[in-house]
Amino acid sequence: RGGYESASKHFNPADVEVDVAGRSFLVTGANSGIGKATAKEIARRGGTVHLVCRNKERAEVAKEEIVTETGNQNIFLHIVDISNPKEIWKFAEKFQKEHKLNVLINNAGCMVNNRVLTEDGLEKNFATNTLGTYIMTTALVPLLEKAADARVITVSSGGMLVQKLNISDLQSGSGPFDGTMVYAQNKRQQVVLTEQWAKAHRNIHFSVMHPGWADTPAVRSSMPDFYERMKNSLRTEDQGADTVLWLAVSAEATKLPSGLFFQDRQPVPTHLPLAYTHSPPEDEEKLMEVLEEFSQKFKSVSPG
């Protein structure tokens, strides 16, 4: 929290005091934590918000809260499990026919501390954090390409700084399984995805960010020891969401190049000094190829 408090002294409040009526935002993992805080702030500013959540009951409570607190009725709910690639494809195909989209916020994530496989045989963290983010984004790129001032923001983590991209074991099948390190590897992959997308799609502004360590349900459940030690100095959900909001609504964000990694409204390096975490370009290209192969495998060919 201290880092946020000192950084925020230099923020320009006017950056986020904007009216986004008529613009459409999609937030994944929007029923709690940073996702919900972001969705609520966008709703306050008049945006149309699509909440993409896995749990129907919790999602309905979150939607109700956002509508009540902001008075904004343009809040829509979509129930999608981001660890299920077929569901994402199906959702994206339907969404493109029915809605427009200006800003995609990839916030859904998970940190599962044991190696669990989804019904598709995918390791759960990889399925949600990496493949789910990849499919949601690539499936919606055609819709974003049609929009004015289109943006994609992915919520990563500073934990990725300890990981070098490893494409040899994307599903963590060899060696002992450490959920925290798997999560950090997925978050490194999200940084690489963002950089690659920024090169490929010049009409869309891509960014990836570290929210700082915030007091969210996800941190409490997946990192209980860390939470107990740090709970008095964690950021609030709103502080964690601040840079997501800034990247989503401010005019300042898009003055900076596409593909950067942000913390507290500033671009920051994606590698620590002297760290051996840089990967060769061919590894980064290989990651994109492998994810594309995976994603196509789950894309059902709808008749007509």
Reported confidence tier of residue 212, pLDDT bands at 50, 70, 90: confident
**How would DSSP label each residue in 45-81?**
TT-EEEEEES-HHHHHHHHHHHHHHH----EEEEE--
Instruction: Compute the distance between CA of residue 261 and CA of residue 2 in angstroms, rounded to an integer.
Output: 20
The string of pLDDT tens digits covering residues 242-279 is: 999 999 999 999 999 999 999 999 999 999 998 999 99
CA angle in degrees (0–180, nearest 5) for 24-45-129:
50
- Percent of the chain with pLDDT strictly greater than 70: 98
pLDDT higher than threshold 50 for residue 304: no
Longest dimension (CA), the chain: 56
Question: Is 183 annotated in the active site?
Answer: yes
User: What's the predicted TM-score (pTM) here?
Assistant: 0.95
Which residue out of 4, 134, 183, 276 is catalytically annotated? Answer: 183
The residue behind tokens 């992959």 is 189
> What integer is the mean pLDDT of 16-21?
98
pLDDT of the residue at 1 = 86
- Which domains occur in the chain, in start order? 1-297 (3.40.50.720)
The whole-number average pLDDT for the span 10-29 is: 98
